[in-house]
Structure 1
């Protein structure tokens, strides 16, 4: 059996094991959530905090999606038509920062200090924002 035939057979077996690949809505393709893609960022739609936790912002609501929890936080959102983040009293911004590998990545930084923000979860699973002592190097616009 050729390699192509093996891959086709394997793909068919995987689809069969997952219910055949059809959908209950008559075969319409389901779309994944649409996130904002950050211009100049090598990470596309991914946004990091100081420790490197990964987030994204929905294109329609501008609200945070937390990859660690798989949840949207509808109270942690970008202000309309901006890169400014508001979450309770916290104000931050999404800016491209120089990553350790030399690329630029979108990150959430504190607007007051310019330091990285650290987004952690409290005992109830809610995002809590702490400003770190780490000051990122911003990428040139």
Structure 2
């Protein structure tokens, strides 16, 4: 599922969403394995959505909010709209689109809505998602 891009070519254009949401541990709510994630039509990655570095995320079917596989946390401020393919995190608007992976398969990825450029999701020292828009555009998957 590696994307056709290299980390060395990553150019951070703008930061958005810093501290925009609340990260909630899965303690006190059903375990992620007992909750369901949304699946993305036309994607070979099932429920997984990737960023520019192929880091995997998913969106819970009950809340529509982001689950970060690296931190094991749900972010209640990083959620899908009612239509299900647009995402808001702070002031940043993103879409989930199918892109061509390095293996030639279709996978779901997060891109910035107005530029259609990949985003990079990292975490800060407090495990909050920090989102940067990159200069890289994905290859659409048909």
C-alpha distance after superposition, 1:86-130 (max 9, x if no partner): 010010000000000000000000012111000000121100110
Q: Which has the higher contact order (CA 8 A, sep 6+)?
A: 2
Q: Which has the higher helix share?
A: 1
Aligned to 2:34, the other structure's residue is in SS state coil
Find the aligned partners of 1:46 and 1:32 in 2 and give their Cα distance: 16
Quote the RMSD (CA, aligned, Å): 0.9
Find the aligned partners of 2:84 and 2:45 in 1 and give their Cα distance: 19
Q: Give structure 1 stretches of 5+ with no counterpart.
A: 1-30
Aligned residue-pair number: 110
Larger Rg: 1
Moved over 4 A (4+): none
C-alpha distance after superposition, 1:68-101 (max 9, x if no partner): 0000000000001230000100100000000000
User: Which residue number corresponds to residue 47 of structure 1?
Assistant: 49
Match of 2:64 among 52, 62, 65: 62
TM-score (norm 2): 0.75
